Each structure stands twice: as structure tokens, then as C-alpha cells.
């Protein structure tokens, strides 16, 4: 872990910040959407001096473990925060007995390069995932 950063589970008083940050970035909230599903979920937060630098929404069922969203706030980018969140997601998946972590990413997203540079590989293309002609890659990372 980088000096000054702490990766931990989200506290109840941080739910609103997580949801609002997802809306700012994506126009919807993965966390809120998962609240109405049967998936089990957890949010891991990376903080510096009590301020959320980034977070990852993790969810799973009996079959697969996913990163539903991973956001690093602009002022904390390129400091290893995203890498720490992926490492924590990998540890969580491993503890639960999953061999891989999955992430679905738009084929045109800047996040694709980030995930690939952190060991993810393209497993498949999901056509029309985000709407007509808006495809995604299903990425996987072996833990």
C-alpha cells in the first residue's frame, strides 16, 4: 500500500457519496442498481487523510465475482489508487474461492487501458451492452 492511503470497506455514512460519484461519472449508480438485485455486494474505499480517493463496487453470485465500478477521483489519479483497489478486489475474490475477477468495460472507454495495464485480459465482446452499437469487453483477471 502506498504511504498515506488506507483501503477499507465503505462505512454506512459514505453510501450517498458513492452513489453521487457514480452518477457524476456514469449517469447511473451501479451500487444503487445492485441494491435491488440478488447479488451480494461490497464497496471498498481507498482513502487519504479521511477523504475518499477512490472506490470499487464489488459484487458476486455463486458463479462469478465482478468489479461493477471502479472510480478514482481526478485529483488522486496516477498515484496507484486504482491498482490498490484492484489488488483488494483480487484478494476478496480469492478469499471467497473465485478464480477470476471480471469487469465489463465499454470498448471505447479510457478505462480499458487501465484495466489491461493491471493484468486484465479481454475474454469476450458483449454486443449492445450499453445500448445499440455500444459494445463492451468482458475483461478477466486471474487471482
pLDDT digits (tens, 9 = 90+) for 74-85: 999 999 999 999
Residue 86 CB neighbours (<10 A): 21
Q: For 25-32, what is the mean pLDDT?
A: 94
Q: Residue 1 pLDDT > 70, yes or no?
A: no
CATH numeric code, 5-142: 3.40.630.30
Q: pTM of the full predicted structure? A: 0.94
Average pLDDT over residues 57-67: 98
Q: What is the mean pLDDT of the chain?
A: 95
* pLDDT score of 2: 58
C-alpha distance from residue 125 to each of 65, 73, 97, 133 (Å): 18, 28, 25, 12
Q: Tell me the mean pLDDT in the region 86-112.
A: 95
* CB neighbourhood size of 106 (10 A): 14
Amino acid at each position: 500500500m502506498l504511504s498515506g492511503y488506507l483501503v477499507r470497506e465503505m462505512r454506512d455514512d459514505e453510501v450517498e457519496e458513492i452513489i453521487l460519484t457514480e452518477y457524476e461519472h456514469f449517469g447511473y449508480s451501479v451500487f444503487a442498481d445492485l441494491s435491488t438485485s440478488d447479488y451480494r455486494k461490497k464497496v471498498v474505499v481507498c482513502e487519504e487523510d479521511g477523504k475518499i480517493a477512490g472506490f470499487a463496487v464489488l459484487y458476486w453470485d455463486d458463479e462469478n465475482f465482478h468489479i461493477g465500478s471502479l472510480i478514482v477521483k481526478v485529483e488522486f489519479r496516477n498515484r496507484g489508487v486504482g491498482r490498490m483497489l484492484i489488488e483488494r478486489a483480487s484478494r476478496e475474490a480469492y478469499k471467497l474461492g473465485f478464480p477470476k475477477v471480471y469487469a465489463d468495460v465499454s470498448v471505447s472507454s479510457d478505462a480499458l487501458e487501465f484495466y489491461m495495464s493491471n493484468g486484465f485480459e479481454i475474454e469476450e465482446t458483449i454486443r449492445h451492452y450499453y445500448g445499440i452499437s455500444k459494445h463492451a469487453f468482458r475483461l478477466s483477471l486471474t487471482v
